[in-house]
Amino acid sequence: MSRQPGLSKACLRGHPARAHLEDGGVSAAKADEPQRRLGRGLAALIGEVGDEGAVLDRAARPQRRAQIAQLRASRANPRRSFREEDLEELTASVREKGVIQPILVRRLAGESDQFEIIAGERRWRAAQRAGVHDAPIVVLDVTDREALEIAIVENVQRADLNAIDEAAGYEQLASQFSYTQEKLAEVIGKSRSHIANTLRLLKLPESVKAHVAAGALTAGHARALLALPDPEKAAEKAVAKRLSVREVEAMARAPEVKSADGARKPRAEKDADVRAIERELSEALGLAVTLTPKAEGGDLTIRFTTLDQLDMVARRLRG
């Protein structure tokens, strides 16, 4: 992908200048147009997500090199887990080629030659393991809030991020920066239904989330487990027997389930039409919608996590 020079770090600070992707490149919008799309501007600054060998635009991103020992991990880094297998693979690449994609940093307060990592901790860890002594960096002049926002957006856009860390990143953007699901979808480049479905994974028990974070279960497994009365027990079974996503979904569609007292009770089976309507409503609202058929009628449940989402639903219902 070709890039045009001249994109400044002001794009990260809500400066009137804005960056966006256009015909495969980066161009500046009119100066009086407010900055709205931090995520795509960020992607333009750091290269396509997950591409460790992205070719950088030196004019847009002034660089320098720093000793690995000068860099410090941020305690606010939203990424909580690094898969050992992926880290070893990256370490081998760094050992052979060095660190190619710059690490985004800011200066540590009161330290002239020490930097806090904003984005790129995985590259830094791999460089330490590989015995590499220095790496390219881009120094940003940002506040604590801006640094955290950049770190979260960069992390949730990564292809190798597990679904639980992705969901935690979305939740952090919503709770700390008042991102609605609509804004999340725009910034991250995902559909609103994907955002809503991913956020729902945070309702799973901690042990189930740990399996997903470790890679023992996929996001597909996790979504299917949400429909079960005892997702923790079902998750242990899925891991032990290496069940596929379809097999876990079949467990969720079982005609009978056990209640808390051990008695068996019938589960209302959803036909294809009901599931299709659920899916259409979820995509239209960008929220999780559940239809529960009953002997007479049924229930319609719309799950929301912020008052903005509730206001949006109310506006839609009022027409």
What is the average per-residue pLDDT within 273-285? 80
Q: Dihedrals φ, ψ of 292, to 5°?
A: -120, 100
Measured between alpha carbons, how far is 62 from 76 in angstroms, rounded to an integer? 25
How far are the Cα atoms of 169, 197, 222, 314 from residue 216, in angstroms, in the given order? 20, 19, 11, 39
CATH class entry, domain 9-161: alpha beta
The arrangement of strands across the sheet holding 103-107 comes to 64-67, 134-139, 103-107, 115-119, 71-72
Q: Which residue has the higher pLDDT, 26 or 173?
A: 173
What is the average per-residue pLDDT within 227-235? 90
What is the average per-residue pLDDT within 173-178? 86
**CB atoms closer than 10 angstroms to residue 160:** 12
- Name the band, by pLDDT with cuts 50, 70 and 90, for residue 79: low
Q: Where are the domains of the chain?
A: 9-161
Give the pLDDT confidence score for residue 34 in this predicted structure: 33
Q: Which residue has the higher pLDDT, 273 or 213?
A: 213
Measured between alpha carbons, how far is 100 from 107 in angstroms, rounded to an integer? 21
Give the pLDDT confidence score for residue 269 in this predicted structure: 56
Which one-letter amino acid corresponds to residue 174?
Answer: A
Measured between alpha carbons, how far is 150 from 243 in angstroms, rounded to an integer? 37
- Name the band, by pLDDT with cuts 50, 70 and 90, for residue 191: confident
Could you say which DSSP state residue 107 is in? E
269 catalytic per annotation: no
274, HSE (Cβ side, Cα atoms, 13 Å): 13
Measured between alpha carbons, how far is 292 from 272 in angstroms, rounded to an integer? 13
Q: Which residue has the higher pLDDT, 23 or 102?
A: 102
Catalytic residue among 116, 121, 149, 154: 121
Residue 225 reports pLDDT greater than 80: yes
> For residue 151, what are the contacts with CB-CB under 8 A and spacing of at least 6?
74, 76, 77, 78, 118, 119
The answer to whether the pTM exceeds 0.75 is no
Residue 262 reports pLDDT greater than 60: no
Q: Is the Cβ–Cβ distance between 122 and 130 less than 8 Å?
A: no
User: Considering only CA atoms, which of 40, 69, 33 is closest in space to residue 186?
Assistant: 40
Residue 5 reports pLDDT greater than 80: no
Q: Is the Cβ–Cβ distance between 128 and 68 less than 8 Å?
A: yes
The sign of the torsion formed by the CA atoms of 56, 58, 62, 65 equals: positive
Give the pLDDT confidence score for residue 42 in this predicted structure: 40
Mean pLDDT over each residue of the chain, to the nearest integer: 75
Measured between alpha carbons, how far is 110 from 129 in angstroms, rounded to an integer? 28
